[in-house]
Amino acid sequence: MDRYKDKVNLLKKVVRNPLIQLVFAMFLCSFFYANLSVDTIRFFLTISTCLKELLTFILPFLLFSFIAVALSAIPREGMLFVLVLMATVFVSNFINILISGSVGYMMLSGTVAKEISNDAIQILPLFSMQLPVVAKTLHALIFGIIVGFTNSLYPNKHVNMIINLIHDGVMKFMKRFFVPLLPIFVAGFLLKLFAEGKMTGFLKENSKICLVMCIFLFAYLTLWLFMAASFKRKRAVEIFKNTLPAIVTAFSSMSSAAALPLSLEAAHKNTKDKVLADAFMPLTLNFHMLGDTIIIPILAMTIMLAFNHPLPNVSTFLTFGVFFVLNKFAGGGVPSGTIMVTVPILRDYLGFDDSMIAFAIAFYGVIDPIATSGNVTANNFFVVIFQKFSSFTRKRFRTHGNSNVS
């Protein structure tokens, strides 16, 4: 009887897995779209566009509350350490964006990525829902930073209550409403794309690019590993061995939070500094996302070419990169949360429309395990690199101080 219950519980766990649900939705759409009438496809598309409008409406609250709550939690006495760490994370994420963009340009320039079919058929929703724009992404980010830092320096219980109330409400909406409906959200747009002949063309022409993108992520993480190990093979094997349980957990759960206990254990072993590890790993959990900063820009540029959009110029890409990195401070907590909070950035700075956004969410959902495991892997290597950097800095200050005294 217990064995039967275990099998049932395992089956429920598999069925409730967001990745399984998303892949199953894509499978159903690809095999049965031809048997559906145009009106049926328009019905599902209408649901998807309404959900997209709800997501757009809620995103400013999500961005504001995540950033404000995170910054408010910084103790005044630990402000300097956190600010240095956040600045380091910002620089690291931005460098990753620049590297990813450069690789994307090299991969996609010329005739490598071909545009998808542009058939005359165009399927539109039955109706569209227009919700008011509460705030622009930039304003929500800036307001969250101001409120968070102010509340950290001068704590106020009423401010804490308000931002936590907003945060809890957003999380309940995302976890209890939007995430369970994510397969339906994606399915409506996928049915439209399949019926218009665009999805098949994208898979045919650009699957190799997605594979190369994942291979590059693996190679880049390998470089980080050897940097953490000071390019000593034996030390690199030791660090990787300690980190492997966290990597496997992140891949299977698509959650950096689920892998945090194992990441903490790995960081303790790799740094031999429990204080640093305990302070570093939770703070970088949802902020330092190497997997996302490598994968999403290349995926975005691939989708742009597939929809016959030119690649962004340098200034546009840099602007996108800055806001994309700022969004890293508000992307955690829900499956595919990173790509969801990136939607307004893709729309405002790279010109994504609903179909392109659907592509981005669908494909990110499928490669989310790779991106999440990349995030966790990099953070476990990053704490060792940060320890080396901080030790080097302290030595330089001591040396400089001693020379002044003499």
Which 8-state DSSP code applies to residue 36?
A: S
Residue whose C-alpha is closest to residue 328's, from 373, 292, 361: 292
Q: Which of 277, 41, 66, 313 is nearest to 170 (CA)?
A: 66
3-state DSSP assignment of residue 160: helix
| Element at 6 (helix H, strand E) | helix 2-16
Question: In terms of pLDDT, which residue wins out, 23 or 201?
Answer: 23
Range of the domain at 337: 2-399
Residue 112 is predicted with a pLDDT of: 46
Closest CA to 360 of 289, 292, 310: 292
- How many residues are given for the chain? 406
Digit-coded pLDDT (tens) for 241-286: 999 999 988 887 677 777 888 898 999 999 998 888 887 887 787 7
Alpha-helix residue ranges (DSSP H) falling in 154-289: 157-172, 182-195, 198-228, 233-253, 260-271, 274-284
Of the two residues 85 and 297, the one the predictor is more confident about is 297
Give phi and psi for 229, each to the nearest 5.
-90, 10
**C-alpha angle 137/140/141, rounded to 5°?**
85
Indicate if the alpha-carbon torsion angle 108, 112, 113, 114 is positive or negative. positive
Confidence of residue 401 (pLDDT cuts 50, 70, 90): very low
* 384 located within any domain: yes
d(CA 206, CA 10): 35
Residue 404 resides in a domain: no
What DSSP designation does 176 have?
Answer: I
> Residue 114 domain-assigned?
yes
What DSSP state is assigned to residue 335? T
d(CA 195, CA 157): 53
The answer to whether residue 317 is domain-embedded is: yes
- CATH number, position 181: 1.10.3860
Q: Is residue 348 part of a domain?
A: yes
What's residue 298's pLDDT?
92
Q: pLDDT tens digit string along 203-234?
A: 666 677 888 888 999 999 999 999 999 999 99
* Number of compact structural domains in the chain: 1
Higher pLDDT, 23 or 349: 349
User: CA 318, CA 374: separation in Å to the nearest integer?
Assistant: 23
Q: Where residue 23 falls among pLDDT bands split at 50, 70, 90?
A: confident
Digit-coded pLDDT (tens) for 47-98: 988 988 888 888 888 878 877 887 787 777 667 777 788 888 889 999 999 9
Question: CB–CB of 131/56 below 8 Å?
Answer: yes
110 pLDDT more than 70: no
Q: Mean pLDDT throughout 131-147?
A: 82
Residue 406 lies in a domain: no
Q: Tokens 């998303």, residue? A: 22
